[in-house]
Structure 1
Amino acid sequence: MFFVSWGSKGEVAEIGPAGDRHCDRCNQDGPFTKMVAYRVRHIYWLFRWVTDRTPFLLCGRCGSQYLADQGDHDAKQERDAIPFWDRRGWTIGAGAIGSVIALGSIAAAADSAADSGYVQAPHVGDIYEVDLAKMMDKPEARVMRSAMRITAVKGDSVEVAVANLYYDDWRGVDRDITSGKAAQADYYAPGHASLPVANLKRMRDDGVVYDIHR
């Protein structure tokens, strides 16, 4: 189940001195401070934005609060007094997501470049994630995600062993590779097939091969 963490909280920020004034509550003259009360709304505390800004004056002697009048109201000062993280947190959240997307794109490009090199110079032990359905005239299922392992490299051809099981999505094969299960000999069918090295590139370009592990 997926939960979205969201909410809001009230905060107060100091704008600056407002000079000496008379406080009707403590009936004394003394220093006042310009303040702003605001509400921070958030999603996962990463995306934050400010609403409900209310400027007020604070008595330095008794702490009494008074709503700021027109002469004490300065929108820019109030905005600048609010910490950047509260005021512009949404841009950091958006930037973080953008960075993740950019890093993902860079990683995908690097992975693609590596796979391109692997099919041109295969090594014994390379494991290819393949869709067996695209290798058969009459497949048992529409999608048959499986593994194919290079067992020998002989000049312009390779010998491969094909796993004796398949999945309906890529996660099963990835799990077997990560756990080391796909590195075991009994994971594959007994017979080996011979393929020209040029066919590996064609299989990758045609989407038969969708990832390579070395």
Structure 2
Amino acid sequence: MEHEATAHANEHPPTTIRQYVLIGAILTVLTLIELWLSYSGLPHGPLIAALLVFSAIKFAIVVALFMHLRFDNRLFTRMFLFGLVLAGSLLLALLGLFSDNHDSRTVEAYATPGAVAAHEAAAEAGGHGEGEGGGQSGGGEAAGGATTEGGDGGDPAAGMVQGIPVAEFFQANCAVCHGQNREGLVGPALTPERLTQPDEFYHDTILNGRPGTAMPSWAATKGLNDADANALVQFLKHVER
């Protein structure tokens, strides 16, 4: 028994207090870097990749140095490291796949069954307007009038929502789900090139929300009216981020 203890001590010499302090300092610095990265505003893909790398480094430090767990055969060590790299690569590939799918495909805002029905209803209403003699020009005049009302003289960027500039209202109330630059987070991206539905669709979404999604009714929760919703729609559809 004494021989085994001596052999173990020779194979794994005890860690000194100085080494513990140094390792603890390194782990603390790595954790602080992770926290900084989390709030740095990096895109999700690079952020997750960086956090995975730092987590793997901390895991290796704890296992190899604190717990003295190492493979006796270097071949096993290489196989283990290769497995970690392979698993990490597959995870990053999956994250990239879903990220690309979310960012590159044409995603209509809150494309739920209710949203499709609203779109069809809006299209049908447009058809009736054309049949009654209004035609395309009539619809354009109506949309133009709404833009002037909600956009404060026709400038979408100058619109007001509940007495504050539309851009400030978006940052204070909408950016938490749609991103500071409207790039999309929990909710979809709200950039002009993605908003291809009729204005009425987004107007209804803002005021009444979308069942089955995180989008609430802003008329019920914030007291927005038609002019407020129209100002937001014109801002989102015509002002580049």
Report the TM-score, using the length of structure 1 for normalisation: 0.31
Report the TM-score, using the length of structure 2 for normalisation: 0.28
**Higher relative contact order at CA 8 Å, sep ≥6: structure 1 or structure 2?**
2
Larger radius of gyration: 1
> Per residue, is there more strand in 1 or in 2?
1
